[in-house]
């Protein structure tokens, strides 16, 4: 998600999903690729719950790529999604994997308290001007919540070129692991599981055009994975990793 308010945010995403866009197919493949890793993260963290989630809601579900990836894994008995983009909702519905996909206003979810066993906010909070209310509202509707964000409070992401790249894709925050913990605490939630991922080779290479760019992307992926393996917290301070946390109500 991006921009300053719900209406502006909606307009940005309606444009991204417009039919006939020359880049639409490639962006669709990108979302599908990223959804595989996100689904792995959801499944890994959800395994720590006492009971298998029977119902899941993804807030900011976009075109439904993650919902489809979860469905292919047989995750949960019913899948639900909400997004601010009507076009994204239409695409997600056409996938035919969710029992309910609806547009919402970016603020209030049309669901009662504890309607779902598990909620997911995957790469949403970094796009929202004030992420705390959306986290609290999502947590209201589910018994457990998985949040995933890129940890961009690091040296690499401090470069001017990186800043321009974040602005281009609508990132409004540079989160650290501590920031996510603080948001969770302020929402009355506790972290009961977490993981970080420096991302696989195929993700690093996706946007590389030409042999030289692919070699460079491959080298970066290998070097980052190596540092992350031996010193994960040092890696987080050096470059961006994706971070996911499983949250429940504070006891």
- pLDDT tens-digit map of 28-45: 899 999 999 999 999 999
Contacting residues for 123 by C-beta, under 8 A, at least 6 apart: 34, 38, 60, 148, 149, 150, 242
pTM of the model: 0.91
Q: Given pLDDT bands bounded at 50, 70 and 90, which one contains residue 7?
A: low
Is there a contact between 215 and 167 (Cβ–Cβ < 8 Å)?
no
Tens-place pLDDT, residues 63-112 = 999 999 999 999 999 999 999 999 999 999 999 999 999 999 999 999 99
Q: Would you state the pLDDT for residue 163?
A: 85
Nearest to 41 by CA among 193, 244, 180: 244
Question: CA-to-CA distance for 29 and 208, rounded, in angstroms?
Answer: 14
Q: Per the domain annotation, does 168 fall within a domain?
A: yes
Q: Would you state the pLDDT for residue 18?
A: 59
Nearest to 107 by CA among 245, 7, 248, 249: 7
Domain range spanning residue 162?
A: 6-198+240-249
Is there a contact between 82 and 103 (Cβ–Cβ < 8 Å)?
yes
Q: Would you state the pLDDT for residue 4?
A: 40
Q: Per the domain annotation, does 188 fall within a domain?
A: yes
Residue 114 DSSP class: T
Question: What is the domain-level CATH number for residue 113?
Answer: 3.40.50.150
- The stretch 130-135 carries a mean pLDDT of 96
Q: Would you state the pLDDT for residue 2?
A: 32
Number of independent structural domains in the chain: 1
Q: Per the domain annotation, does 221 fall within a domain?
A: no
What are the helix and strand counts (H, E) for the chain?
Answer: 10, 7
Q: Per the domain annotation, does 232 fall within a domain?
A: no
More confident residue, 54 or 9: 54
Highest average pLDDT, of 5-9, 116-120, 156-160, comes from 116-120
Q: Per the domain annotation, does 64 fall within a domain?
A: yes
Q: Per the domain annotation, does 205 fall within a domain?
A: no
Q: Given pLDDT bands bounded at 50, 70 and 90, which one contains residue 162?
A: confident
| Residue 199 region by backbone torsions, left for phi larger than 0, else alpha for psi between -120 and 50, else beta | left
Residue 125 DSSP class: G
pLDDT(119) > 90: yes
Tens-place pLDDT, residues 9-30 = 555 555 556 545 667 788 889 9
Q: Per the domain annotation, does 235 fall within a domain?
A: no
């Amino acid at each position: 998600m991006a921009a300053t308010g719900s209406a502006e945010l909606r307009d940005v995403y309606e444009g991204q999903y417009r039919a006939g866009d020359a880049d639409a197919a490639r962006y669709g493949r990108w979302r599908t690729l990223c959804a595989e890793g996100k689904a792995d993260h959801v499944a890994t963290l959800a395994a720590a719950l006492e009971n298998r989630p029977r119902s899941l809601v993804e807030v900011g579900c976009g075109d439904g790529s993650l919902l489809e990836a979860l469905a292919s894994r047989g995750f949960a008995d019913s899948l639900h999604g909400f997004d601010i983009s009507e076009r994204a909702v239409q695409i997600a519905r056409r996938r035919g994997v969710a029992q309910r996909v609806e547009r919402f206003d970016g603020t209030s979810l049309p669901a009662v308290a504890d309607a779902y066993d598990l909620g997911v906010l995957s790469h949403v909070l970094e796009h929202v001007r004030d992420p705390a209310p959306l986290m609290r509202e999502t947590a209201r509707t589910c018994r457990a919540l998985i949040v995933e964000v890129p940890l961009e409070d690091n040296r690499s992401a401090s470069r001017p070129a990186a800043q321009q790249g974040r602005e281009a894709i609508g990132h409004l925050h540079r989160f650290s692991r501590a920031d996510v913990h603080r948001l969770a605490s302020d929402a009355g939630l506790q972290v009961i599981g977490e993981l970080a991922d420096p991302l696989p080779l195929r993700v690093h290479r996706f946007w590389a055009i030409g042999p030289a760019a692919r070699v460079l992307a491959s080298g970066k992926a290998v070097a980052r994975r190596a540092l992350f393996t031996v010193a994960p917290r040092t890696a987080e301070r050096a470059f961006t990793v994706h971070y996911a946390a499983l949250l429940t109500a504070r006891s």
